Structure 1
Amino acid sequence: MHGQVLKQFRDPDLGRRMAESTRQRLQRLADKLGRRPRFMEFCGTHTAAISRTGVRGVLKTEVDLLSGPGCPVCVSDYSDIDRAIAFSTVPGAIVATFGDMMKVPGSRTTLQEEKARGADVRVVYSSLDALQLARENPDRPVIFLGVGFETTAPTAVMTLEQAVREDIRNFYLYSMHKTTPPPTRALLPDPELQIDGIILPGHVSMILGRKAWDFLPSKLQRPGVVAGFEPVELLAAIDTLADMLLTGNLSVVNQYGRAVREEGNLVAQQAMDKYYSLVDGPWRGLGTVAGSVLKLKQEYAPWDAEACFAVNVPPTQIPKGCICGEIVKGKQSPFDCALFGKGCDPIRPVGPCMVSSEGTCATYYKYERM
């Protein structure tokens, strides 16, 4: 059944017909607006999918598709990255991290460079792998670097819950987790961007539910579509946004119903509510965003790396020429960066947008630069 569904969403004939009808609808919308419409996706996986499937190229004359702050590694502030790297200096510590964090540049170094200098930094594929490292090394602190949005934040604290249950006291979480609605609220009113509609993140919406985005039409007068990641799904999302703007019937439409429910994943939401507090925090490019960062509550301080380890975090230094902060806001594209494909590439990245597989620069380097 799953294979049949994917085959339908990847059907080339259906895709061509949809692309043509979507072009016509976008042209009518452009006539109404007096300019090309501008839609933004708030998901790094959507950014990659839109380029990989050719949707961006097929519709490039009819719509501007902007890539927003949908890559969690990319929007992690230099201060967060520098602190994560500094944890590798804790005596005896094992730093456990997802692979895309290894090459993310801090102000002066990377986790990969610190590993080469002798720090014990290990790539894991889940937070449970980090917990297993703590079991196997009871005399050493194991610090898991939690990076991501609502998709990965629940798994980190469910792992913490297991550590609490087993009374594993050498497992620590450094939470850099962030939530997606606050930066959406921060970006949409920006008159420089002129964002007309939003392609909403599918994976995040599996946790939050469709209803979490109802503020878009009610508060910000923008339509939104929760979308999947296949070519036909992406075209359908763009077509639906254009249709809502033409008719003036603005709402939040769930077109990823095979995975996203109205209320979302209540178990995951309850786990986040139990362990995290929402605090103001820094985002690369956006500055401080109110109520957007997930930090462990005070009662879980014995497992909180920030509370337990005082590390020396150097003053932030931003590399000259890197415009990653502007790219995650959708105000510039990788092609606007003088370093793109020259001083900055996936082998020698200057900024995180070129590191993560969800980063806009990495996507454009792989699919768009030719």
Structure 2
Amino acid sequence: MKYIEEFNNPELARRLLDDIHATVTRPWALMEVCGGQTHSIIRHGIDQLLPEGVELIHGPGCPVCVTPLEMIDKALEIASRPGVVFCSFGDMLRVPGTDRDLFRVKGEGGDVRVVYSPLDALAIARRHPDREVVFFGVGFETTAPANAMAVHEARRLGVRNFSLLVSHVRVPPAIEAIMCSPDCRVQAFLAAGHVCSVMGTAEYPALAERYRVPIVVTGFEPLDILEGIRRTVRQLERGEHRVENAYPRAVQEGGNPAALRMLEEVFTVGDRAWRGIGVIPRSGWRLSDAYRDHDAEHRFSVSGITTRESGLCRSGEVLQGLIKPHECAAFGRECTPRTPLGATMVSSEGACAAYHLYRRLGTGTPAAVRATGEATPVG
């Protein structure tokens, strides 16, 4: 399969690893921003194959995980109302709110539906003009254009019973917030290739220069990630801090012009709360005034929300890269995929889910891995 099998080649992976080992002379801490990259790293054991002292820190790159608890509780309240069809991608249904999730709302009689596109939700609204149809628009820059298009089409077609509950966040402000943290150990970033395929790379050079960190745009297959790491450690060893595009088959400097125009028309940038992190200035989108009639928060006027996080869950520290998932005492005990305390255990991009799925249940790296340089086979 083109662009899949070619990027899982064990021989090429070994060559990249040999180059990384030959380059590194000191410890380095790199953050992969995207949760999809985290899953690929853990699945293939890439972190265990790197030189001693080179650490991959898992960043807040799971959009489901950083959706604030207040927004989850608002979704639950709206989904519970009579006459509402609440639509979402499947990975949101088991994300815990303060005292329940969307699956429970569905079990209690709420009309909660899994869709594969926001346009599916718009089609439901057109078929059922007597119902209020809400789509839960969650994600980074990658999914924002499709959600913007759905609202744009609803307005163009005059579909008044369709609205969007928006919880979109932006990567560059999150990088800036990470670098400004007093606990920051990050010395370089592997940037998310799919985000940059939409937005381009224009926002990254200023960050690389201001904080003197290399930023390498990276894909998601094993060879993509190893090439991103290779370029990153080479810059670090040379004392450089540039933006490099290691994912040219998908990313252009200017991004996707059509998607960018749609985003500019439908959304406006503003401050946004991130679950486990707090409010990051100018890190999110909301619907612009022209599309206010399709804003579910405005339409349903949800207020009086009182949130309560689990006292055992340390997912906020996981999202900030301060701890690894297995360093949380609840991991694999009180918190499992069947009994999740936080979104990082149920999301398909969550770090806790990756560690549980691929059996990273203890601390440290097995001695045999460091001795032989072998882990879960790449590819």
TM bucket normalised to smaller: over 0.9
Which residue number corresponds to residue 17 of structure 2? 19
Instruction: Give 1:194's aligned amino acid.
Output: R
Three-state SS of the structure 1 residue aligned to 2:302 is coil
Distance (whole Å) between structure 2 residues aligned to residue 363 and residue 313 of structure 1:
35
Compute the displacement of 1:248 (Å). 1.9
**Aligned counterpart in structure 2 of residue 145 of structure 1, from 136, 145, 162:** 136
2:372 alignment partner in structure 1: none
Count of aligned pairs between the two proteins: 361
Deviation at 1:176, TM superposition (A): 0.5
Deviation at 1:21, TM superposition (A): 1.9
The whole-number CA distance in structure 2 between the counterparts of 1:248 and 1:63 is 16
Mapped to 2, the partners of 1:191 and 1:298 lie a distance apart of 37
TM-superposed deviation, 1:22 = 0.7
Partner of residue 367, structure 2: none
Q: What residue identity is the alignment partner of 1:224?
A: I
- Percent sequence identity is 39
The reply on whether 1:338 has 2:335 as its aligned counterpart is: no
Among 45, 64, 79, the residue aligned to 1:88: 79
Aligned to 1:123: 114
Matched residue, 2:187: 196
> 1:165 aligns to what SS in structure 2?
helix
Q: How far off its partner does 1:297 sit?
A: 1.1
Q: Is 2:81–2:110's contact at 8 Å kept on the other side of the alignment? A: no
1:187-243: CA deviations, max 9, x gaps? 023342321100000110101112221122221110010011121221111111111
Alignment equivalent of 2:314, drawn from 323, 327, 332: 323
The aligned residue for residue 185 of structure 1 is: 176
Task: State yes or no: 1:48 paired with 2:39.
Answer: yes
The equivalent of 1:77 in structure 2 is 68
Displacement after TM superposition at 1:249 (Å): 2.6
In the alignment, residue 69 of structure 2 is paired with which amino acid? Answer: Y
Residues of 2 paired with 1:220 and 1:228: CA distance? 23
Q: SS of the residue aligned with 1:96?
A: strand
Query: Can you list the C-alpha shifts for 1:100-138, whole angstroms capped at 9, x where unaligned?
Result: 110101111111111101111111111011001101111
Matched, 1:282 2:251: no
Once residues 172 and 351 of structure 1 are traced to their aligned partners in structure 2, the CA distance between those partners, rounded to angstroms, is 27
Q: Which amino acid aligns with 2:16?
A: M
Q: Which residue of 1 aligns with 2:369?
A: none
Q: In 2 relative to 1, CA 234–119 (structure 1 residues): closer, same or farther, beyond 3 Å?
A: same
- 1:295 equivalent in structure 2: 286
CA distance in 2 between partners of 1:25 and 1:308 (Å): 56
Question: Which residue of structure 1 aligns with residue 96 of structure 2?
Answer: 105
Q: 1:287 to 1:60 in 2, by over 3 A?
A: farther
Find the partner of 2:342 among 346, 351, 366.
351
The answer to which of 314-323 and 8-17 deviates more is: 8-17
Unmatched tracts of structure 2, length 5 or more: 362-379
User: In the TM superposition, what is the alpha-carbon distance from 1:313 to its structure 2 partner?
Assistant: 4.6
- The DSSP-based 3-state class of the residue aligned with 2:134 is strand
> SS of the residue aligned with 1:210?
coil
Other-structure match for 1:255: 246
Shift of 1:60: 6.4
Corresponding residue of 2:6: 8
Q: Distance in 2 between matches of 1:189 and 1:368?
A: 33
* 2:223 counterpart (212, 216, 232): 232
Residue 304 of structure 1 is matched in structure 2 by: 295
With over 3 angstroms needed to count, the CA separation of the structure-2 counterparts of 1:218 and 1:321, relative to structure 1, is same
Unaligned runs of 5+ in 1: 31-35
Distance in 2, Cα, partners of 1:180 & 1:169: 32
1:91, CA displacement in angstroms? 2.4
Paired position in structure 2 for 1:33: none
2:151·2:291 contact (CA, 8 Å) conserved in 1?
A: no
Q: Could you tell me how far apart the structure 2 residues matched to 1:236 and 1:299 are?
A: 43
User: Please, what is the CA RMSD of the aligned residues?
Assistant: 1.3
TM-score by length of 1: 0.95
Q: Is the 8 A contact 2:21 2:51 kept in 1?
A: no
| Aligned equivalent of 1:37, options 28, 47, 52 | 28
State the Cα distance separating 1:310 from its structure 2 match.
2.1
Amino acid at match of 1:104: V
Could you tell me whether the CA contact under 8 Å between 2:90 and 2:115 is conserved in 1? yes
Q: Is the 8 A contact 2:148 2:262 kept in 1?
A: yes
User: What's the secondary structure of 1:199's corresponding residue?
Assistant: strand
State whether residues 23 and 62 of structure 1, in contact with CA within 8 Å, keep that contact through their aligned partners in structure 2: no
Give the Cα–Cα distance (whole angstroms) in 2 for the partners of residues 63 and 69 of structure 1.
19
Q: Residue 206 of structure 1 corresponds to which residue in structure 2? A: 197
CA contact (8 A) 2:93 2:103 kept: yes
The range that moved more, 209-218 or 221-230, is 209-218
**Taking structure 1 as reference, are residues 348 and 367 closer, same or farther at Cα in structure 2, changes over 3 Å only?**
same
Q: C-alpha separation between the residues in 2 aligned to 1:237 and 1:311?
A: 43
Contact 1:40 1:195 in 2 (8 A): yes
